[in-house]
Amino acid sequence: TAVEPQWLAEFGPMFFTLKESHSSMLKSKAKRKEDKVKMEAEMQAKREEEEERDAASRLHDDERRARQRSQIVTPGQARSISGTPRVDSGGSTSRPSTGSRPSTGQRRTGPGGRTPGRKRFGL
């Protein structure tokens, strides 16, 4: 049976090669050069597209930052933007101030519920 040499070169390039004539070598060289120019143009277009996307992203981020900087936040005031709803803890109680000393029924306590200044020894 007869086998075409192009088929052998295509499916077994490690075993078979085709010797090209001078004119076909010039054509293949021109084709390689043309492919190289085409790939470089594609890469340049992709770089420009990425630069445009990055510039748009930077502009968007700068605008967002400018909006955030221009907002004045004051503690204790409700926000105009609806966000996480506020929930009262319910456990906070406010005692009226009676001066610097507690009344006779109240004791000043430190951390852990102990009276400050007293030290416990033993257990």
Q: What is the pLDDT of residue 67?
A: 81
Those residues with Cβ within 8 angstroms of residue 9's Cβ, 6 or more apart along the chain or in another chain? 16, 17, 18
Those residues with Cβ within 8 angstroms of residue 120's Cβ, 6 or more apart along the chain or in another chain? 114
Is the pTM above the cut of 0.75?
no
Q: Return d(Cα 63, Cα 56) in angstroms, integer.
A: 11
For the record, the structure tokens of 117 come out as: 């200044």
Q: Return d(Cα 33, Cα 29) in angstroms, integer.
A: 6
Q: What is the pLDDT of residue 34?
A: 96
Which residues of the chain have a pLDDT value below 50?
94, 97
Structural contact between residues 20 and 9, judged by C-beta atoms closer than 8 angstroms: no
Q: What is the pLDDT of residue 113?
A: 59
DSSP-based three-state secondary structure for 55: helix
Q: Return d(Cα 5, Cα 3) in angstroms, integer.
A: 6
Q: What is the pLDDT of residue 20?
A: 74
Q: Return d(Cα 4, Cα 11) in angstroms, integer.
A: 11
